[in-house]
Amino acid sequence: MLNRVRINDIQTFDDGSTLTLFGDGSRLTVSETGQVIGLDGNTSNNSDAYRMAVANYGYRGPLNTGATNVNPDQLPYGMDIATADALESFAPNVVQKIAESQTPGESWVDTAQKIFSALVMSEQQRQLMQLNIERAKQGLPPIDISRYSGVGVNVGLSAGTQQLVTYALLAGGALLLLNTFLSRR
């Protein structure tokens, strides 16, 4: 519910957008299609401009959102426009990639974590490969990438398992000797 607001001026531009100036110093710019494209000035969520944007235009985004490129209809499930704007400012097109990769019922946070983990691992492997190329140019042996990246296959028994097998064999041998010694009597 929108209480009374004081409008100081309304300006209409050639592209059909309108700028409304409110008495509290806030400003609201709306496109010709009714989409909020600017919200500034007094930008508290109690400002007249913000309250009008929410009440009259169904606005659900952040304050100061004049420069967003995120389409609210294409957000990943569970993500709000404020989060999308923040992510886009950090990594352009990441919201679209999350939306494309998100499986039904999966949180957008889980999807983003998978994407970022894969990117980090790829970058680490690229750096290790580059290091090995530099070492090869210097005539040095390559570094075992599996020691640093966790990629690789280990064959054989672990140290703890080897010790257990050794003790089991020694105990079995001792029992065999004891059995042989007792059966000769």
Q: Is the pLDDT of residue 3 over 60?
A: no
Question: CATH number of the domain at 1-67, please?
Answer: 2.40.10
pLDDT number for residue 185: 63
The tokens describing 44, both together, are 């508290």
d(CA 61, CA 83): 9
Element (H, E) at 28: strand 27-30
Question: What pLDDT sits at residue 44?
Answer: 58
Out of 25-29, 43-47, 178-182, give the one with best mean pLDDT. Answer: 178-182
151-169 mean pLDDT: 73
**pLDDT, mean over the chain:** 75
**Domains of the chain: which residue ranges?**
1-67, 73-151
pLDDT at 138 over 90: yes
Most confident of 35-44, 58-67, 141-150: 141-150
Contact (CB, 8 A) for 42 and 25: yes
Lookup result for tokens 């009008």: 52
pLDDT in tens, 113-133: 888 888 888 888 888 888 889
* Distance separating alpha carbons of residues 102 and 77, to the nearest angstrom: 8
The pLDDT value given to residue 137:
94
What pLDDT score does 12 carry?
80
Model confidence band, residue 152 (pLDDT cutoffs 50, 70, 90): low
pLDDT score for 61: 61
